[in-house]
Copies of this chain bind each other. A is one copy, B any other.
């Protein structure tokens, strides 16, 4: 397929990620599918690293998702291996064996149980993964590990992504500092139902695995699970978080500042995934308030954010608020049409179930021409609130997806 242009919503540059004590990275070319680009990431984690993970709720998960789900409960990690180009999904017993062999290849390097090696694969579904390429590449990669390879790491895991995605925060914990670095990939098949395609967060903090798991789940709900590109939930969604334990300890008592930083890193990564949504020309924030519950608000927000008619209207820079009403109506959540209000770009268009008398389309039309579109819906029933991020639906999405595999 033709080379994809960098998304117009991409940030001007990747942030510079500082080292995370206990984390070393290496990216290389295993030749799994792509020519002339990296497709394999190896991350070495210090002994004693705690791990937490959230995964796709797809009933047809990939072999690496099965593998991680099986081992994450032990809470221990020594390495992470990620390949792009092949998702190792719907590959039957061969796929499960390939996952195990990948893990063993890394375990041999670190002389650890295979269960401490975490895996993710992304790319084509249903084609056998040639694991020998990974087995051959890993020992070579291990010789190039370095604590500064964040950009290379973020690039090696891309598929239809047009830019690498990373975020970082460093916060004070008492007299010490803690860093959280994160990288993610994802562009299409994005409707995370537990996590997004692939996201990996690393910190030098010392955090017990159960607390790490709880924090990951909570931040995930506010970040990746609040995004959608096309409503298609991947077989491979995986978000893993690693805490090497070489920095200060985070406990329930002092976790506040860390949780806030983790929220920020994960929301930044999630928004970057949306900003690289296949064919995206506009970034859309959908704010729903006044719903019966936060969950109801979340579902209404997703109904708007997944509506092809809403997304194509925004692509056409058309403030077609009737389609927003349609999407609210089809959400299945409790709605009283005659209490509903809709605003776009801060301008109230409809209130109490009909268009406001004095509605002036000019400022809304001007807002529609910008890159960042804000839709606010007030259900008028309760206190439930949610924010969802998505992108528009353009010819670019069709171009990419009518031609991805061939």
Contacts and interface: CB of A to CB of B under 8 A. Distances in A.
Interface stretch (A19-27, A259-267, A312-320): A312-320
Interface string A305-340: 011110011011010111101111111111111101
A164 to B, nearest CB: 23
B326 A60 contact: yes
A127 interface: yes
Interface residues on A, range: 35 or more
A312 B403 CA distance: 8
How many chain copies does the complex carry?
2
Contact of A398 (B315, B401, B404): B315
Contacts of A235: 325-326, 329
Given A323-B125, A354-B91, A330 B232 contact: yes
Contact of A89 (B193, B231, B325, B332): B325
Contact of A355 (B126, B309, B337): B126
A335 to B, nearest CB: 4
Interface centre among A306, A352, A405 (most CB of B within 10 A): A405
A129 to B, nearest CB: 12
A328 B320 CA distance: 32
B191 A330 contact: yes
A295 interface: no
Contact of A124 (B58, B322, B398): B322
Of listed A93, A338, A401, residue having the most chain B CB within 10 A: A401
Interface stretch (A132-140, A149-157, A389-397): A389-397
Given A188-B309, A309-B401, A402-B312, A94 B326 contact: no
B406 A60 contact: no
Contacts of A329: 56, 58-61, 233, 235
B404 A92 contact: no
A56 B325 CA distance: 14
Interface string A362-406: 000000000000000000000000000000011101100111111
A60 B126 contact: no
Nearest to A279: B398
